[in-house]
Amino acid sequence: MDRRSRLAVAVLAVLVTVTGCTLPSFAPEGSDQPARAESGTSVPGSAEPGTAQWRPCPEVPQDLVGRTAPGMTYQCATVQVPEDWAKPDAGKKYDISMIRIRSGKQKASERIGSLLLNPGGPGGSGVDLAVYLTFGEKLGGLPTEITDRFDIVGFDPRGINRSSPVKCIDAKDQDASFAADPDPVSQAEFDTVAALTKKIADGCTKKYGEDLSDFATEQAARDVDALRAAVGDEKLTYLGYSYGTLLGATYAQLFPQNVRALVLDGAVDPTETFTQGSEQQAKGFERAFTNFTKWCTTEPSRCPIAPDARGAVTDALAKAETSPVRGPDGRDATAGWVFLGLISSLYTESGWADLANAIDDLRTGDATGIFELADQYAEREPDGTYSNLFDANLTVNCVDNQKAPGVAEIRRLQGEWRSKYPLFGAPMAVGMLPCAYWGGGRDPYPAGEAKGAPPILVVGTTGDPATPYENTADLANMLGVGQVLTWEGEGHTAYPSTTCIKDAVDRYLLDLKMPPEGLRCPPK
């Protein structure tokens, strides 16, 4: 099937990239660093009000989906921002790409403003997300109540996709990284993975040098204020998923007076260290996988690897280390590719059946399903090329973190976490290697209160693998003005998954009315 016609799959693919991750595995952001500026004070480089020069761009949804959404118009603009907001008149400029999608049903007298979107990553495209989410609720998109009152504005943050993209990882090295053993046990195996990781990190440093620090989250948050001004909004209304919660929280600390409403769905905890965040994610994926195995026992007709799903996945990983199945394009489904497919499938409950079928197919010598899951997550094209998702992801994660553990510490944690989190602990530890070798600049984000900001809604999912539910209250408490909304569901992020979640978030976005304190929405 033509990929552009598979809209529902495309929406899932965008949301699947919503995670904090580093090569070759997946560890979220974290920082030891205190906030560098008092919230509510003036900051260098605050954006002055301006306007964007919009042009029609129906070719964007045509390219992504193969058609435009009924009743929607598409306009694009590019806003230039300084290399360093502390020195706005010096250095080069970066181009930030935006798309504005407006419903034909919108009435000027009822329009509230713009809703800015960020899908996370770091590395996900907000332009793509805006397109997908405006195809309607039946395909998992935004409710008409929202699209009738807001312009939907997606943007690609600096260094990502259409916005002066960072590109420093060769496709062959990317393939090798994903194919590598996610848990190299022997020292020789570990050294092989470490050498490849160092090659990738060194390549980015060699290409960009100290300019890498330009892609820090704090710089991107200041860009957001420039976008707010460019679309003509006095105050920001924002929906951020996963890493997008970190971007939104950073914005709230820097520009609390410019906040109208922030929905932060799938919280990153800015107060965690890089190591703490990685361990939390190992715990989250282990919990999500356990939930998957329980589902298998209750739905054996949909889970061909029941009743022992954990055993089947563990066996598949072990066999892939010694005798990987050859995929339809000639790649071997090594343990690394199998693990990547496993990670991908846990982002939504609907992915569980795909995982079960893919693991079952491996037993009969068919790797098609596992590669579909892995390639969807990695944004790998059939011709072997990649988007710059992981180039940007590596860069932002490492720039944001002042203190990453060293190689020896990572090796120690690999064994320790393997015991605590059997499938995901060791890979999450190994996933911290790129930042151990990082030679570019560092520029950690602030982690403090958003003094003077209005109430901010922080949404958490109890079964979230990538941004574990425990982060939700931590982020809300750090901001000082956050309130938690809970979805007792599975998968990564919540809005607009159920009527309960949708109604609560919509009322906040539309009327600035917070849901009842402590509201917990059921799974369905």
d(CA 515, CA 490): 21
Annotated catalytic sites, by residue? 242, 464, 492
What would the two tokens of residue 124 be? 């996900």
Give Cα separations from 318 to 182, 334, 375 (angstroms): 11, 9, 21
Q: What pLDDT was estimated at residue 401?
A: 92
| C-alpha 272: how far from chain center | 17
pLDDT band at 32 (very low <50, low <70, confident <90, very high): very low
- pLDDT tens for 148-167 read 999 999 999 999 999 999 99
Residue 47 pLDDT > 50, yes or no? no
Q: What pLDDT was estimated at residue 351?
A: 96
DSSP class per residue in 315-380: HHHHHHHHSPEEPTTS-EE-HHHHHHHHHHHTTSTTHHHHHHHHHHHHHTT--HHHHHHHHHHHTB
- pLDDT tens for 338-363 read 999 999 999 999 999 999 999 999 99
d(CA 223, CA 216): 11
pLDDT band at 329 (very low <50, low <70, confident <90, very high): very high
d(CA 495, CA 238): 13
Q: What pLDDT was estimated at residue 41?
A: 31
Q: What pLDDT was estimated at residue 440?
A: 79
pLDDT band at 465 (very low <50, low <70, confident <90, very high): very high
Q: What is the DSSP letter of 184?
A: -
The pLDDT mean for the chain works out to 90
Q: What pLDDT was estimated at residue 448?
A: 96
Domains of the chain, start order: 51-165+211-270+446-523 (3.40.50.1820), 171-208+274-437 (no CATH)
Nearest to 445 by CA among 251, 279, 263: 251
Residue 313 pLDDT > 60, yes or no? yes
Cβ atoms of residues 200 and 434 within 8 Å: yes
d(CA 74, CA 55): 8
Residue whose entry in the numeric block shows the structure tokens 């982020």 = 475
Residue 66 pLDDT > 50, yes or no? yes
- pLDDT tens for 267-287 read 999 999 999 999 999 999 999
Q: What pLDDT was estimated at residue 138?
A: 86
Residue 31 pLDDT > 90, yes or no? no
d(CA 321, CA 100): 47
Q: What pLDDT was estimated at residue 38?
A: 30
Mean pLDDT score, 438-450? 92
Residue 2 CB neighbour total at 10 angstroms? 6
Q: 3-state secondary structure string, 234-291?
A: CCEEEEEECHHHHHHHHHHHHCHHHEEEEEEECCCCCCCCHHHHHHHHHHHHHHHHHH
DSSP class per residue in 92-108: -EEEEEEEEEEETT--T
Give the rounded percent of residues in the chain with a pLDDT score beyond 70.
Answer: 90
pLDDT band at 90 (very low <50, low <70, confident <90, very high): confident
Sign, CA torsion 206/207/213/218: negative
Which residue type does 290 have?
T
Provide φ and ψ at 220, rounded to 5°: -65, -35
Cβ atoms of residues 83 and 121 within 8 Å: no
Q: What pLDDT was estimated at residue 454?
A: 98
- Terminal-residue alpha carbon distance, the chain: 30
pLDDT band at 91 (very low <50, low <70, confident <90, very high): confident
Residue 18 pLDDT > 90, yes or no? no
Nearest to 457 by CA among 484, 478, 489, 479: 484
Cβ atoms of residues 216 and 445 within 8 Å: yes
Provide φ and ψ at 72, rounded to 5°: -105, 145
- pLDDT tens for 198-218 read 999 999 999 999 899 999 999
Residue 130 pLDDT > 50, yes or no? yes
Residue 24 pLDDT > 90, yes or no? no
Which residues, 6+ apart, have CB-to-CB distance to 167 below 8 Å? 388, 391
Lowest mean pLDDT across 45-59, 261-275, 417-431, 484-498 = 45-59
Residue 402 pLDDT > 60, yes or no? yes
- Which parts of 66-186 fold into alpha helices (H)? 126-133, 144-147, 171-179
